[in-house]
Amino acid sequence: MLTINLGIIGGGTVGGGVYQALKKNGSLMASRLSVRFRIAGIAVRNPRKKRLPHIPQSLLTKDWKSLVQNPKVNLVVELMGGTTTARTVVLEALKLGKSVVTANKALICEHGEELFSASEKYGANIYYEAAVAGGIPIIKVLRESFSGNRVQSIHGILNGTCNYMLCQMRESGLDFKTALQQATDLGYAEADPTLDVDGYDALHKICILASLAHGHWIDSSKTHVEGIRNILPLDVHFAQSLGYSVKLLGVVKTTSIEKKGIRPRIQVAVHPTLIPLDHVLASVNGVFNAVYLKGDRVGDSLLYGEGAGANATASAILSDLGDAALDHAFGSHRRVPPFVPHSESGSILPQSETVSPFYLRLSVVDRPGTLAKIAAILAESEIGISSVMQPEGHEGKSVPLIMMIHDAREASMNQALKKISRLKVIKAPPVLYRVENFID
């Protein structure tokens, strides 16, 4: 039986989870693949740190370079996170002709083109199933299972921390700060939750999926992102009363432009979105993730599961280890390249040009003529109102006025809101969220 020696870089939550998973299920994988995995070493910052699960001291080292350069190490597993040292580790391994397994979505998103180029140059491979949606096999689905489909849209709930917090805001009426503290106490949120709650974790993931689906690498710095930091329980409650659930949604859509010589542009964004309660994504609760895809041949598909945590991520890492081991065994290190440019669609559609329905909440003075003034400004911008709600039980100098807006260009909507904000009857900045009805 072939033995693959692993050099693991990182012994934290994910590294410890991979160690434990190999210890528990390594023999099962060997029986299924006829390949045995042996951990040659695990590079960590502090070998003396107490770890759960316990990792034998004999496996730990501070010197990642000697581990990567060890001629007995066949495969490098990068689990340290970050984009600086991790990039150096991966490039060093690739230059030595050693394939790499990684769970690092930021690294793949921000340096994917460079790393994939090095992979091709040195005849090694990069496996990154665990970089997006934890235990959900979405990378394999896009690269292999859906290779015969034009991907028309992707909608993903890709951050478990935000999904848990929004569920608590809906079910228990918690405000953002309290929901975040609860997520932190339960271990769902990082000590610094910025990447999660401001949407950048989900952005890294949706950019990777968009790149795979459309064959050209997406620059995350040019992609629209909004987090959940400013969402109020009030809007979560009103959305539910209107038949919607609020989710932080990653979106990839292909425009319907089909002119000769002009490629359709794609919309890529992350933002809070109202989803109909009867849609399957609205029922994705807690820390779970889901990816809803539409292909021109397969139609609608849903992949659902745990998107983070030691076990879910370790499951995806073990899947990649299996692929890498079989590729190594049969001498086909690039049987499935990490990324194949094919330019299925062209450039990114600017967010200002996107079109969607909207949820709009205004704080207004409750007096005759207020609605007429607002409606007149919207009409000037050719924006239609589908419904209006002024909830009872709100008294004071201002009251909430909720409008559901028909499909409108985002630029037109923003221009109208600037004019509306200047009205004397408006007492607070407008609150605007996009609505996704999943209608082609």
Interstrand relation of 35-43 and 2-9 (parallel, antiparallel or unpaired): parallel
The pTM of the whole model exceeds 0.75: yes
Largest separation between any pair of C-alpha atoms in the chain: 82
Of 208, 203, 190, 202, whose CA–CA distance to 13 is shortest?
190
Question: Among the listed ranges 11-20, 135-144, 346-355, which one has the minimum average pLDDT value?
Answer: 346-355
pLDDT in tens, 150-189: 999 999 999 999 999 999 999 999 999 999 999 999 989 8
Distances (CA, A) of 39 to 6, 9, 20, 25, 191: 5, 11, 11, 14, 30
Contact 425/398 with Cβ under 8 angstroms?
no
Active site amino acids: 205
Q: What is the mean pLDDT of residues 105-124?
A: 96
**Cα(430)–Cα(179) distance, integer angstroms:** 23
Position 173 scores a pLDDT of: 95
pLDDT in tens, 52-80: 889 999 999 999 999 999 999 999 999 99
Six token digits for residue 121: 């140059």
Position 392 scores a pLDDT of: 77
Measured distance between the N- and C-terminal CA atoms of the chain, rounded to whole angstroms = 52
Q: How confident is the model at residue 329 (pLDDT cuts 50, 70, 90)?
A: confident
Distance of CA 15 to the CA centre of its chain: 21
Position 270 scores a pLDDT of: 98
> Structural domains in the chain?
2-134+310-329 (3.40.50.720), 139-306 (3.30.360.10), 351-435 (3.30.70.260)
pLDDT in tens, 390-416: 887 666 678 999 999 999 999 999 999
**Cα(123)–Cα(218) distance, integer angstroms:** 24
